[in-house]
Amino acid sequence: MKLETLVRQSLEEWSAEARVPAGLADRALRRRTRRRIRGIALVAGAAAAVAATTFAVDVGAPTAPRPATRPTPMDTSLHTDPAHSPPQRFVAAGQTAISAYYIRQTSSIGGKTVFRDTWYLYRPATGGYQRTPWANLDVAPGLRQAAVLEGPLPAARVGLVDLKTQKVTRWITLEYPAGGLAWSPDGTRLLVTTYDRSVDVPAGPGTSSRTGYYLVNVASGKAAFHTLPAGTDNVDARQDLGWSRNGRLLWAPTDTTPTKRFYDLSGTPRPAPPHEDQTYVDEAGLSPSGRYLSRGNPYVGPGRTNPHGPATAVEDVTTSKQVGVQPVEQLRAWADDTHLIAVACDVKRCTGKGEFHNRYVLVSVDGKSITPLTGYQNSDAPGAWHPLFTHR
């Protein structure tokens, strides 16, 4: 059976359930649990030179792996797995794919609460996701390569993994241990956030031990370290750094407004690019073209009530006008300039604790079209899964 036929049948099968009526529930999901901080790269940026002192790294393979690049032409076909949560089959829409996901468990070690994340990585050979031994990872744009860290965190080295074989092609040893990873938008560089103690602990003032970051040239394996301590405007133990949309700046997450603080590649504070510091790191932010910006519930705020239930909005930044309202709980990533990947609750159970009975869907900017991508889960329960979105 052709792929086009499978996609068409899937859409027809779910269309009745996916249409969401206007009178949806009584309140939106606004409980924010800080997830792993990572940027969602939706637009490739130009490469920027790194002006910093470098030191020798331990390269485990004599030949450098090819930098991850996006296929040409880009695959934008729809892949769904609405019967399973977490997904068993590859999930993708437009420019964006769920390249991996993790399941978090909480335990007590020596009287202290710690988190342990089990990661599942996309494997093109099977079309599904495979459990990994890694404590943290990030997938490069193009879905050909991943960067991984061993546990317990922080780790003393970074591994580069070929997604096709799921095997490490290179190890890069670090002088300062690492807890977070982020590929540059063009897939040629790796941003490694460093810490001097565990990042897998509950949040609280002074819990973060961030020391700085490495910029790694993936082709050469060379790395440059820069000092950048944890911010006082963020109480999370994990304060991973991310890339600006064009890859020319870095950002650090905050718990305040603005939601991100920007730096040049050497760690000097810089003004934020337009609109890039107006949404939290686990939200969709700017669309691929940069014209549209995801927003929270438009019916909640001073002097306003919320008769419409869970809702999000999209704003045209060129006019500052709202261009669409979506009957979902949170906008997570852009698929293209007219569709987003979102979290949506069950239309019949979206009140009270039912707001956490949700799944991932593809929603149009005007909110009129919703296609399920995964099955439902209780996103507030132990063992919930959390996706990693990557530009494909």
Fill in the DSSP letter of residue 304: B
Q: What is the pLDDT of residues 56-94, one digit of tens each?
A: 333 333 334 444 445 457 789 999 999 999 999 999 999
Residues near 302 by beta carbon (within 8 Å), at least 6 away in sequence: none
Helix or strand (DSSP H, E) at 254: none
Query: By the 8 A CB rule, do 35 and 386 touch?
Result: yes
Q: Domain 3-391 is of which CATH architecture?
A: 7 Propeller (2.130)
Least confident of 103-112, 227-236, 259-268, 319-328: 103-112
> pLDDT confidence of 112, banded at 50, 70, 90?
confident
| Upstream peptide bond of 302 is cis (omega within 30 degrees of 0) | no
| Torsion sign over Cα 98, 385, 208, 332 | positive
Q: What is the pLDDT of residues 316-357, one digit of tens each?
A: 999 999 999 999 999 999 999 999 999 999 877 787 777 899
* Residue with more model confidence, 362 or 37: 362
C-alpha of 255 from chain center? 17
Looking at the DSSP bridge assignments, the partners of residue 370 are 363
- Amino acid identity for residue 115 in this structure: F
Res 232 pLDDT > 80: yes
Res 275 pLDDT > 60: yes
Res 55 pLDDT > 80: no
Query: By the 8 A CB rule, do 203 and 235 touch?
Result: yes
